[in-house]
Amino acid sequence: MGIEIERKFLVKDDSFKKDASEKHLYQQGYIEGPFMATVRVRIIEDTGYITIKSKSVNFTRYEYEYEIPLTDAQEMLTNLCGNKMEKYRHIVWFEGKRWEVDEFIGENKGLFVAELELKSEEEAFALPNWLGEEVTHDFRYRNSFISQNPFNTWE
């Protein structure tokens, strides 16, 4: 990261080509923020990640996650992310299944959400005693929604 000073000019003709030392094909596009995907910056303890998640289309959701330098993740959280949240993620094994239980903190204190990843929609699993209502399809429990609408402001 740094300050970028760049000057840009139109080009009169293609006579520059005879002096060019390199030529490379560039293909590029822009991820259109809230419409087609969300871009999440995350720090787990001391490790930074950036994640691109598409909205679900026909039950498929594209997700790409990359580890990035911690300082980059901290700067992006500070300078580029309007909405932030913090939580503790607990791992609880119950009858052979790995539950991720999120304990939200800060403005979302009091909210606990448990998630279970399955290999198929038919896969059976046992329900721990501490489990409450299913909210799989309730958009309010998406982290991106919570980050914009803290739990403590819900009616």
Query: Scanning residues 6 to 35, which ones bind its own copies (CB under 8 A)?
Result: 6-17, 19-35
Among 126, 134, 153, 155, the residue binding its own copies under the rule CB under 8 A is 134
Q: Which residues contact 67 (CB under 8 A, 6 or more apart)?
A: 47, 48, 49
61-120 residues near its own copies, rule: CB under 8 A: 61-64, 66, 68, 72, 75-77, 79-94, 99, 101-103, 112-120
Among 38, 149, 150, 151, the residue binding its own copies under the rule CB under 8 A is 38
Active site includes 64? no
Q: Determine, following the binding rule CB under 8 A, whether residue 60 of this chain makes contact with its own copies.
A: yes
Nearer Cβ to its own copies (39/107): 39
The CA radius of gyration of the chain, in Å to the nearest whole number, is 22
Q: How far apart are CA 37 and CA 98, in angstroms?
A: 27
Token pair 């590029």: residue: 28
What is the rounded (10 degree) CA torsion for 13, 15, 19, 24? 50
Nearer Cβ to its own copies (103/107): 103
Q: C-beta of 137: minimal distance to its own copies in Å?
A: 9
User: Can you say whether residue 154 is alpha, beta or left, with left for phi > 0 and alpha for psi between -120 and 50 degrees?
Assistant: beta
Q: Determine, following the binding rule CB under 8 A, whether residue 139 of this chain makes contact with its own copies.
A: no
Q: C-beta of 44: minimal distance to its own copies in Å?
A: 5
- Give backbone dihedrals phi and psi of 108, rounded to 5 degrees, phi first: -110, 15
Q: Catalytic amino acids? A: 30
